[in-house]
Structure 1
Amino acid sequence: MDAFLQRLKRLDAYPKVNEDFYKRTLSGGIVTLVAAVVMLLLFISETRSYFYSATETKLVVDTSRGERLRVNFDITFLSIPCTLLSVDTMDISGEQHQDIRHDIEKIRLDAHGNVIEARKVSIGGAKIERPLQKHGGRLDKGEQYCGTCYGAEESDEQCCNSCEEVREAYKKKGWALTNPDLIDQCAREDFVERVKTQQDEGCNVHGFLDVSKVAGNFHFAPGKGFYESNIDVPELSLLEGGFNITHKINKLSFGTEFPGVVNPLDGAQWTQPASDGTYQYFIKVVPTIYTDIRGHNIHSNQFSVTEHFRDGNVRPKPQPGVFFFYDFSPIKVIFTEESRSLLHYLTNLCAIVGGVFTVSGIIDSFIYHGQKALKKKMELGKYR
């Protein structure tokens, strides 16, 4: 047994030196103190890296099909009233939606950007007691109301009982409703007077749009949108002096938010230098998948953007409004959160301790032997 223990003792890679043979120096103490501080800082840095997950990025070809795109927006127009502001979408597949109202909220603002409380506004326009019938007479008691479409009827049975229905009938015909104050339905609803009353107001519009995942655009234009020869042209004759499309984008994103996402248009503001014009944003949407440390996937998008303003004084005169033209990148970005293992963390700690200890020992040895050699040379020179 003693022989085995003696053999085992010979395997000791850490032979012990008697303390009587130790020689402590001032330089060694300084090197030891510096090494301890360095090890402490590296230990703190490594521990922080261990508790924070790292994100790896991978690029793949986007092969998804038939998906929808959610566009979240919150935009403030300082000089366009909510009554006139229209939200429209269209894409290259031919899908078009005009004057979208669902999932969108409009808030009236005064000239200083403050929210106007909801209240009934008394309009001083002329009142029409009895609506105008399709046959030309006024609505009598007990008679069913059927308003005229002013020549835009698609059939003899069609009725236009509201200003909006007249506008829709004109839209289908491709006609411009330039004088709504001459339309009986619009006059009864005081549409023109309501627009003129809100002429100095602004509007905050926020909500989301659900569009097809193909190239297209959505835009905010003054006037209810309608089409002439498949070109979107809103009614532009209701306000005098043109339209001021000065706006601030409080929020604009595509899809669900995920950690670390940067939306370049958040907080962007633009002030119109001229009376009329079109402001265009050209957006490249990059499909993105974010996988968190628990394995949950978030399907979203990032985007880059460039901007351009078309002055309204050129010919042909551009449609006033704010347009967002978007297209999709064929490359998909995949972010994956990953945490390091405990063994990897312990290995790095051992490397820190061993590496700093070894390097500090080399530095201390170099200083000690350098001082010793210098002292010896000085002594030899002294006795000569």
Structure 2
Amino acid sequence: MDRVFGKLRNLDAYPKINEDFYSRTLSGGVITVVSSIAILLLFFSELRLYLHTVTETKLVVDTSRGETLHINFDVTFPSIPCSILSLDAMDISGEQHLDIRHDIFKKRIDSHGNVIEVRQEGIGAPKIEKPLQRHGGRLEKDEKYCGSCFGAEMSDDDCCNSCEEVREAYRKKGWGMTNPDLIDQCKREGFVQKIKDEEGEGCNIHGSLEVNKVAGNFHFALGKSFHQSNVHLNELLAFQNDMYNISHKINKLAFGDYFPGVVNPLDGVQWVHETPNGMYQYFIKVVPTIYTNVRGRTIQSNQFSVTEHFKGSEIGRFQSPHGVYFFYDLSPIKVTVTEAHTPFLHFLTHLCAIIGGIFTVAGIVDSFVYHGRKALKKKMEIGKFS
């Protein structure tokens, strides 16, 4: 056993010096204190980096198919009443949704931004008194009212019992409602008067859309949109002498769920319209993004960049429907963002490098100082004797 311990003793790479040969100096003490402080500062800095997560970003080709795109929005129009503001969406596959109402909420606001009313549906129809059938005769006691669609019926059994149903039937036919006062249901409900009553008001519209994951657009138009000879129009073209201010503020616009670090460049953006009517267009490039946190939870979302353009009304040419348009396109590249902690072995390696490096440098500095002072002292002694 003594032979084994003797062999281990011979392997000692750190031979010890008898304390009688130690020489402690003031400079050595100062260097030791400075080195210890430096080691502590670097240790806590390295510990902070170890406790925090590091983010790794990669770019890969997006091979996903058949997915949908979730759009969350919150937009305020301070000068457009809710009664004439509608939301439409369409994409390059040919799918289109006009006057979307599902998961859409409107808030009537006054000129000071105060909420007057929260609205989820269109203008409601009052109770029908002394209703008439389409042929003009009075209803019997047990008969059901069936209002005329004024030529927009798809079949003889179709009924339009409210102004909104007439407008919808016209839209499906590709017709524009030129004069609502000529429609009995609209006249009875005071459709035009209600629009006039909301003059000077604004509208906040917020909600969400679920669209195909292909290029397309959604827009906030004035009036109910319809198609005529493959041209996108809206029924307010009949009132194109009216002037509309499409100033707006985008409180929120996101393509997908929130994840840490995401920046939505249109949040809080405000645009003030200096001339009446026109189209304000946002061209958006959507980049699919997958975020994975340190616990392995994955969030599939999107980031986007945007450019803007305003198109004013042009006299003598076809005028596109006034409103605010968001044209989006999908990037073929997907971004993967992964959060992770620094491995413990890396942390330990960095600590060893800090401690060993500082002690080595401190030892070199101390050696220079000690031998320098010793040489200087020797020269001074020689000078005295000479």
Compared with structure 1, are the counterparts of its residues 10 and 202 closer, same or farther at alpha carbon in structure 2 (3 Å cutoff)? same
3-state SS of 2:116 partner: coil
How far did residue 241 of structure 1 move? Answer: 4.1
| TM score, norm. by length of structure 1 | 0.90
- State the percentage of identical aligned residues: 66
Correspondent of 1:327 among 326, 329, 332: 329
Report the Cα offset of residue 154 of structure 1: 3.3
Structure-1 separation of matches of 2:219 and 2:75: 11
- Seen in structure 2, the aligned counterparts of structure 1 residues 202 and 139 have a Cα distance that, compared at 3 Å, is farther
Distance 1:313 1:37 in 2: 73
Q: How does 1:171-186 map to 2 (within 5 A)?
A: 171-186=171-186
Partners of 1:117 and 1:152 lie apart in 2 by 32
Distance 2:80 2:249 in 1: 12
Contact 1:139 1:145 in 2 (8 A): no
Q: Which residue of 2 aligns with 1:355?
A: 357
1: CA distance between counterparts of 2:118 and 2:290? 42
Structure 2 residue aligned with 1:219: 219
Give the alignment's TM-score, normalised by structure 2: 0.89
In 2: Cα distance, 1:246 partner to 1:381 partner: 91
How far is 1:169 from its partner?
2.3
**Structure 1: which 5+ runs fail to align?**
none
Give the corresponding residue for 1:81.
81
SS in structure 2 of the partner of residue 149 of structure 1: coil
Aligned to 1:5: 5
Distance 2:48 2:286 in 1: 34
Per the alignment, do residues 371 and 306 of structure 1 end up closer, same or farther by CA in structure 2, a change over 3 Å counting? Answer: farther
**What corresponds to 1:52 in structure 2?**
52
Per-residue CA deviations over 1:140-199 (Å, capped at 9, x if unaligned) read: 443543322223333344332221222122223322112112211111122111111111
Which residue does the alignment assign to 1:234? 234
Q: Compared with structure 1, are the counterparts of its residues 11 and 324 closer, same or farther at alpha carbon in structure 2 (3 Å cutoff)? A: same
Deviations 1:90-130 (A, max 9, x none): 000000001111111111111111111569xxx9xxx9854
Which sits farther off after the overlay, 24-33 or 321-330?
Answer: 24-33
Deviates more, 1:158-167 or 1:51-60: 158-167
- Matches for 1:293-312 after TM superposition, within 5 Å: 293-312=294-313
Matched residues in 2 for 1:277 and 1:260: separation?
A: 35
CA distance in 2, matches of 1:367, 1:274: 78
Match of 1:260 in 2: 261
Letter of the 1:361 counterpart? G
**How many Å separate the matches in 2 of 1:49 and 1:323?**
45
Q: Map Cα deviations across residues 264-291 of structure 1 (whole Å, 9 max, x no partner).
A: 1111111112111111111111111112
For residue 46 of structure 1, report the CA deviation from its aligned partner. 1.4
- After superposition, residues 41-190 of structure 1 pair within 5 angstroms as 41-117=41-117, 129-131=129-131, 133-135=133-135, 137=136, 139-142=138-141, 143-190=143-190
Deviation of residue 381 (structure 1)?
5.5
TM-fit CA distance, 1:71: 0.5
Shift of 1:58: 1.4
The Cα shift of 1:302 comes to 1.1
Query: Unpaired runs of 5+ in structure 2?
Result: none
What SS does the aligned partner of 1:181 have? Answer: helix
Q: Deviations over 1:73-94 (max 9, x none)?
A: 1111111111111011000000
Q: Which amino acid aligns with 1:293?
A: V
**Partner-residue secondary structure (3-state), 1:72:** strand
Separation in 2 of the partners of 1:47 and 1:207? 44
After superposition, residues 9-28 of structure 1 pair within 5 angstroms as 9-28=9-28
